[in-house]
Amino acid sequence: MKIKLNGIFVDDQQKALDFYTNILGFKKKQDIPVGEFRWLSVVSPEGGDTELSLEPNANPAAKTFQEALFEQGIPITAFEVDDLDAEFRRLSDLDVAFTTEPTSAGEVTYAVFVDTCGNLIQIYQLGSE
Amino acid sequence: MLTKDRLIRLCGARDQLRNVGYAEVSIDEVAKSAAMSRFHFVRQFKTVFGETPVQFRTRMRLDQAKHLLIQSDDSITDICMAIGFSSLGSFSSLFSQRLGQAPSMYRQKFKQSIEMFSPDCMVIMRGAWENDSQISRSAVASE
């Protein structure tokens, strides 16, 4: 059994594609029309073949779940980075809003930002001071 | 840094902007309720939600239009007015531009597909309604 696909809800798929590719730097993997929506996924350019699906939050249950986490400040998922401080500076320069600046938590340093699609995303660096 | 308090105020503003049509409040009023100047509010809203308040409201109007086109039998003119557009031409033009088809075509396409592929819960509910109406008719007939 392998984890090859993960998904998050987004409030607008085109806006999400723009953010996850142009700002975060992921690459588009799948983009297949499904009715009025799309089967849309991105992958990391740094290797690995796990896809992140950007799913529409059209279902009211999905929207409620997504908004509750967002308003409580809870990240929907987390991405690993090699250099958290550099990534924090790069994204800040691109006007990405952070709710948590780089913070040490023992073996991990993490930060949290807004993905403009209704989610908070955590980025973390392992093994940092 | 985006504080939790500011994030919550922006979420509240987003909720207000979701009310489209007759219940709409102005951007200035929404900014005021979020305790920000209009300039700062628009800038912060775009940073957090990826679109300006006006763009967000337009998207909400179109979402509401899609819902009404599928779920109701209201005329397209009535739907256009109900979601806050003052001109049928501008509504149809924007709808076609964003959705790739005119409102009438959208209704035709998706209403049919929903009737063909009703989820189980809808089928069950429809069955319940039909049973209710049969019971009602039986009751009327026996009176």
Does residue B88 sit within a domain? Answer: no
Does residue B32 sit within a domain? Answer: yes
Domain, as residue range, for B44: 1-50
**B contacts of A99 (beta carbons < 8 Å):** 1-4, 7
Q: Is B2 in contact with A99 (Cβ distance < 8 A)?
A: yes
**B contacts of A121 (beta carbons < 8 Å):** none
For the stretch A56-96, pLDDT in tens is 998 899 999 999 999 999 999 999 999 999 999 999 999 99
Pairing of β A5-10 and β A120-126: unpaired
Is the minimum CB–CB distance between A60 and chain B shorter than 8 Å? no
Does residue B17 sit within a domain? Answer: yes
CATH number, domain with residue B38: 1.10.10
For the stretch A26-55, pLDDT in tens is 999 999 998 889 999 999 999 888 999 999
For the stretch B85-141, pLDDT in tens is 989 999 999 999 998 999 999 999 887 766 555 444 444 444 433 444 444 444 444
The percent of residues above 70 in pLDDT, for chain B, comes to 78
Number of domains in chain B: 1
> Is 3.40.50.740 the CATH classification of the domain at A5-126?
no
Mean residue pLDDT of chain B comes to 84
ipTM: 0.91
pLDDT at position A16 over 50: yes
Q: What pLDDT is stored for residue B84 in this prediction?
A: 92
User: Locate tokens 């849309």: which residue?
Assistant: A40
End-to-end CA distance of chain B: 71
Does residue B22 sit within a domain? Answer: yes
The domain locations on chain A are 5-126
Q: What pLDDT is stored for residue A35 in this prediction?
A: 82
Q: Quick one: closest CA in B to A20, which residue? A: B50
Mean residue pLDDT of chain A comes to 95
